[in-house]
Structures are given as structure tokens and as C-alpha cells.
Chain A
Amino acid sequence: SQQGEEDPQALSIQEGENATMNCSYKTSINNLQWYRQNSGRGLVHLILIRSNEREKHSGRLRVTLDTSKKSSSLLITASRAADTASYFCATDAAGANSKLTFGKGITLSVRP
């Protein structure tokens, strides 16, 4: 079964707006990560949040984690056309022997 499920599946916004993407998961985790994939490229790591953390920032990215609800959100502020990509959350399940489990991803389109 799928561990990480992102929501929405597709998001289209105007440049300068904020983009919020959500991820839900099922099992206990060590950490949760967000990755970005530009078309035809590999996934690029964006940010990692540990299970004992609630919020983390990196540049225009803000990630929150709610372990009681088994959910995370990724906020991209002041979006740019270059943020157009697919975004994936990945969970490192507790006791899972270092295997990341990914979801289907969210397709973000930022209109110039």
C-alpha cells in the first residue's frame, strides 16, 4: 500500500502566489522528506524534517509535520515559474531499514 499520499494531485498558481502541498502517511516514521522532480530529470532533495520536529524552513520552503495526524505540508512562498515541477513526499519508516517510501507526487504549475 502507498505510504505517502500527496494532495492535491495537481496545482496551478500564478507567479508570486504561495503553493501549499500536503502529504499523508500511514505508519510511524523516523523522518519525512520532500523532493522535487523537473521534467526528464532525477528527483532532487529539498528538505528533511525529523519526527520530533514540527516545522522547518529552508529559503522559500516551509515544511510542517504533524505526527498525531500523520501528515505534512510543504509551503513554497512567492512562487516562481522555475518552481514548476513535480513534488514528492517520502517517508523513512521507523525500523524500516533505511528505505524511503514515495507517493504519486503533486504536479505544480506556476504561470508567469
Chain B
Amino acid sequence: QVQLVQSGAEVKKPGASVKVSCKASGYTFTSYGISWVRQAPGQGLEWMGWISAYNGNTNYAQKLQGRVTMTTDTSTSTAYMELRSLRSDDTAVYYCARGDAGGDYWGQGTLVTVSS
């Protein structure tokens, strides 16, 4: 069965970077892209960007351009999302999802807390 398993919770200081992983199984990794979506505490869903697992092409939300990088490792069927220059308003649960938008399978989420 399709599964996306994400890395564990992180606590970071303002200005630091975080890298969240998303390990896929149960399907051919390179046949689908991976989207990243975040959810601030008590808030709605925000699409962050997408990466093609086939060729590594990316498309990022404009507000995160320059701070976010999405990559994949096809040898381990793992996608990564790195966010730099963290601010307090980056505190959120970060989800990976299979597909370019509106993914059909989602990871369990990774809580990233940014606090001094």
C-alpha cells in the first residue's frame, strides 16, 4: 500500500534551517511528483511547492522563493524539503503529499517549531 513516512518533529531557532524528509513506498516513486503543504497552528492549509520525482523539476510558492529547496533521492524513494532563514511564523506542521496538487496520499506531518 502507498505510504509516505516523514521525519520527526524539529525545534529550531530563528535564522536556522530545517530539512524534512518524506520516504515513499508502495508505488513507483518516479511516476509521481511530491507536493509540500504546511499548516500553522489552528490555521488552514498552505501549498508550498512541488517537485517532479522523475526529473527533479520544481515549482515553489512565490512567498517562499529563495528560502525553500525541494529535492529527491530516487535511490531511496525519499523527498526532502529544506527551509532556511526560519522565522516564528514558519512554525507549522509540514506535510508531503503524492501528486502535483491535491495529493491522493499524505504523510503523517512533521511539526517544526521555531522559537528562541
Q: Do A and B come from one complex?
A: no
Which residues does B use to contact A, with CB under 8 Å?
Answer: none
Which residues does A use to contact B, with CB under 8 Å?
Answer: none
